[in-house]
Amino acid sequence: MTMVRFDSVGLRYGTDAEVLRDLDFQLESGGFYVLTGPSGAGKTSLLKLLYLAQRPTRGRITLFDEDIETLGRDGLPALRRRIGIVYQDFRLIEHLSAFDNIALPLRIAGFGDEDIEQPVREMLAWVGLSDRARAKPPTLSGGEQQRVAIARAVIARPDLLIADEPTGNVDAEMAHRLMHLFAGLNKLGTTVVLATHDLSLVKEVPGAVMLRLDDGALKDPTGGLKHPPGRVA
């Protein structure tokens, strides 16, 4: 089943040249995709398109069988709730504790306190922050903030997980643990799209599909993408 489809997608900011051009690909449900490429290639811009923070300048994006261009304003929040996002700059809520930041997706989904306590505690333990549950983001190190951001993104078992350099601020041992977490989530059915410069992490996930962005164009070095047969007129 196809989860994401891009047809002739291009993106530019203002009147500048396109930062992404002629993107034609589809991502299958349950796949694990690793996005690589040099700095400035457009990886973060592509991820923004995937998690609906940015609309394409041209072309069509279909997500969960919904054309995002024709989707009404009321439909976007429902789609976004199916997506977990690990931002490169974390975007934690500073006045909330680590516990409450992680619990936020569950609260938004309508879970009560009695259903939140155990899964959040388990997630804190998994990312090695059990003793920092009540700490607020300004008192956490960069690596600790990144682990909270990852825990928040995966706590609700999203259909699609998008992670922008998720291991950039942690040591090698924690990076291994986090990749194991992503792989485990993927085995449960979550489609994962992970942007990273560290290609050694790909070895943690047998069968991962490598995608490479170079100067705004997408390459398929492992042959794992299925390109749609047609283009948008």
The topology under which CATH files domain 1-82+159-233 is Rossmann fold (3.40.50)
Instruction: Identify the pLDDT of residue 98.
Output: 98
Mean pLDDT of all residues belonging to the chain: 89
The tens digit of pLDDT for each residue in 169-195 reads: 888 888 888 888 899 999 999 999 999
Structural contact between residues 136 and 94, judged by C-beta atoms closer than 8 angstroms: yes
User: Is the entire prediction scored with pTM above 0.75?
Assistant: yes
At residue 230 the predicted structure's pLDDT band, cuts being 50, 70 and 90, is very low
CATH 3.40.50.300 positions along the chain are 1-82+159-233
Instruction: Identify the pLDDT of residue 232.
Output: 36
Structural contact between residues 46 and 35, judged by C-beta atoms closer than 8 angstroms: yes
